[in-house]
Amino acid sequence: MATASPPKRIVVLTGAGISAESGLKTFRDNNGLWENHRVEDVATPEAFAANPGLVQRFYNARRSQLVEEAQPNQAHIDLAEFEKDYSGEFLLITQNVDDLHERAGSKNLLHMHGELLKVRCAKTDTIYDRTTPVYYEELCDCCGLPGKLRPHIVWFGEIPLYMDKIYQALERCDLFVSIGTSGNVYPAAGFQQIAQEYGAHTVELNLEASKGASRFDECIQGPATEIVGKFFKHLLATQS
Ligand code: APR
């Protein structure tokens, strides 16, 4: 670690790489295909309008894999442990729609790209918890109409959630850590630059150098289950 004094406010951003060792596929490690689908066929409002059945089946499959198979891995657990033991301000921002951070015990967490275990009424914006498959003809509880329930996921072309809170935290933090994200998708890909401009030390923990790796003050490469715990345990040791 190269920070001069122990950080008082930390922002962590996670991406698909932190859940890879839990068996969940990342987005860009498979010839641009995500579970055999082009992203634009399943993760855009246009795709949902054109083929709601396909989109719901795609997310139903992701949801059942998450509920029935995936477990938090050591990296999720190490982050949650750090948050518990750390005495400063800590915010975890995730681009992931899985619930592995919360299952590991993370508390101050924002899902900027939505949540797979929630659905939303497109007419009233009411949000419902959901662990079972959604059928696109299904009647919605709030509006009573068919076809209105959609995955509570921020699709391409839609605005990510909690952006005001996120920008405030980025401007205040003195350490920014990016874990398991390729740096391809904005606005998240720009968070490092904002934090750095406001004076934070910035660190990337990733399997390989991401697109924006050269802009970080520090880069550590390896599988998340190995490098996340090491990094945060060392950081905690500098606090005491
Ligand atoms: N440990 C650490 N990093 C890993 C691991 C691992 N075990 N496995 C893969 N990675 C890294 C990859 O090297 C890659 O840089 O994780 C990154 C995953 O990148 P992406 O697949 O592009 O995922 P992400 O950056 O989260 O995508 C951002 O794009 O498709 C949209 O909305 C979706 O939230 C997603 C956003």
C-beta 153 within 6 A of ligand 1? no
C-beta 151 within 6 A of ligand 1? no
**Across 43-199, where does the E strand assignment appear?**
89-94, 109-111, 114-121, 127-129, 149-153, 175-179
Which tens digit of pLDDT belongs to each residue from 173-205? Answer: 999 999 999 999 999 999 999 999 999 999 999
Which tens digit of pLDDT belongs to each residue from 114-129? Answer: 999 999 999 999 999 9
Active site residue 201: no
76, 101, 111, 113: which one is catalytic?
A: 113
Residue 33 has pLDDT above 90, yes or no: no
Range with lowest mean pLDDT among 35-39, 57-61, 66-70, 84-88:
35-39
Q: Which atom of ligand 1 is nearest to the CA of 16?
A: 26
Residue 64 has pLDDT above 50, yes or no: yes
Q: How far is ligand 1, taken at its centre, from the CA of residue 143, in Å?
A: 36
Residue 7 has pLDDT above 60, yes or no: yes
> What was the pLDDT predicted at 31?
61
The mean pLDDT value for 40-53 works out to 93
Distance between CA atoms of 159 and 152, rounded to whole angstroms?
12
Per-residue pLDDT band for 106 (boundaries 50, 70, 90) equals very high
| Mean pLDDT, the chain, integer | 93
Closest CA to 28 of 223, 229, 207, 214: 207
Q: How far is ligand 1, taken at its centre, from the CA of residue 181, in Å?
A: 4
Lookup result for tokens 């995730």: 94
Q: Which helix (H) or strand (E) holds 219?
A: strand 218-221
Q: How far is ligand 1, taken at its centre, from the CA of residue 19, in Å?
A: 9
